[in-house]
Amino acid sequence: MYRHGVTALDEIAVTVEIVKYRDGLRRDNRWLREHNYLSPAAEALLNQEVELGIEEGRELSRRPAPTNLLERAADVAKRPFKGFNARGAQKLRIALVSQGYPPNDTAGIARWTEHVASGLAARGHRVHVITRAEAEPTVDFRDGVWVHKVRAVEGGELGEVTAAIDIPGDLAHWSAGVYVELQEIGFTNLDLVSAPIWDVEGLVPLLLSPIPVVTSLHTTYKLAYPHKPDWHRPLYDFNHVQRVIKAEQFLFEKAPYFLGNTEAVVKEIHDAYGVDIAPRTIIVPHGVSVPQMPKTMKTEAGDEITVLFVGRQETRKGFDTALDAALRVCAQVPDVSFRFIGATTEDQNSKRAVHRLQEGASAVLAQRIHIEGYRPDDQLAEAYANCDIFLAPSRFESFGLVAIEAMRYGKPVIAGNVGGLAEVVEPLKTGLLVDPNDPEEIAQAVLKLVHDRNLRRQLGNAARQSFLAKYTLEQMVEGIEAAYASFQEVDTSSNTALEEVRS
Give 389-450 as a DSSP string: EEEE--S--SS-HHHHHHHTTT--EEEESSTTHHHHSPBTTTEEEE-TT-HHHHHHHHHHHH
| CB-based contact 167:244 (threshold 8 Å) | yes
Nearest to 409 by CA among 290, 304, 239: 290
Q: If you average pLDDT over every residue of the chain, what do you get?
A: 85
Q: Report phi then psi at 77, rounded to 5.
A: -65, -25
As a whole number, mean pLDDT of residues 106-117 equals 90
Looking at residue 159, its pLDDT comes to 74
CA separation, residue 67 to residues 80, 172, 190, 337 (Å): 22, 60, 38, 71
Whether 328 has a pLDDT exceeding 70, the answer reads: yes
Domains 93-287+485-502 and 305-471 share a fold: yes
For residues 402-434, b (16+ Cβ closer than 10 Å) or e, as one string? bbbbbbbbbbbbbbbebbbbbbbbbeeebbbbb
Dist. CA 33–CA 43, nearest whole Å:
7
Dist. CA 182–CA 196, nearest whole Å:
16
pTM over 0.75: yes
CB neighbours of 384 closer than 8 A, spacing ≥ 6? 308, 310, 390, 405, 406, 408, 409, 411
Geometric angle at alpha carbon 286, from 290 and 197, rounded to 5°: 150
Query: DSSP character for 46?
Result: H
CATH no. of 93-287+485-502? 3.40.50.2000
- Say what percent of the chain tops pLDDT 70: 84
Dist. CA 176–CA 167, nearest whole Å:
12
CB atoms within 10 A of CB 131: 23
Nearest to 120 by CA among 45, 194, 209, 199: 194
Sheet of strand 431-434: strand arrangement:
369-373, 336-341, 305-310, 389-392, 413-416, 431-434
User: Tens digit of pLDDT for each residue in 134-183?
Assistant: 888 999 998 899 999 999 988 777 777 777 788 998 999 999 999 999 99
Instruction: State which H helix or E strand residue 358 sits in.
Output: helix 348-360
Q: Spelled out in words, what is the top-level CATH class assigned to the domain 305-471?
A: alpha beta
Looking at residue 64, its pLDDT comes to 59
- Reported as a pLDDT band with limits 50, 70 and 90, residue 459 is very high
Dist. CA 503–CA 490, nearest whole Å:
25
Looking at residue 71, its pLDDT comes to 42
Dist. CA 287–CA 274, nearest whole Å:
29
User: Tens digit of pLDDT for each residue in 374-409?
Assistant: 888 889 999 999 999 999 999 999 898 999 999 999
Looking at residue 428, its pLDDT comes to 95
Q: Look up residue 39 and give its amino acid.
A: S
Whether 86 has a pLDDT exceeding 80, the answer reads: no
**3-class secondary structure per residue, 457-470:** HHHHHHHHHHHHHH
Looking at residue 300, its pLDDT comes to 56
| CB-based contact 174:149 (threshold 8 Å) | no
Looking at residue 52, its pLDDT comes to 72
Can you say whether the dihedral through the CA atoms of 384, 386, 389, 393 is positive or negative?
A: negative
Looking at residue 135, its pLDDT comes to 86
User: Tens digit of pLDDT for each residue in 55-82?
Assistant: 766 666 665 554 443 343 344 333 333 3
Helices 453-470, 439-450: crossing angle, 10 deg rounding:
100
Residue spans per domain, the chain? 22-54, 93-287+485-502, 305-471
Geometric angle at alpha carbon 47, from 44 and 49, rounded to 5°: 110
Looking at residue 490, its pLDDT comes to 60
Number of H helices, E strands in the chain: 21, 16
Peptide bond into 103 cis (omega under 30): yes
Can you say whether the dihedral through the CA atoms of 446, 449, 425, 481 is positive or negative?
A: positive
Q: Look up residue 412 and give its amino acid.
A: P
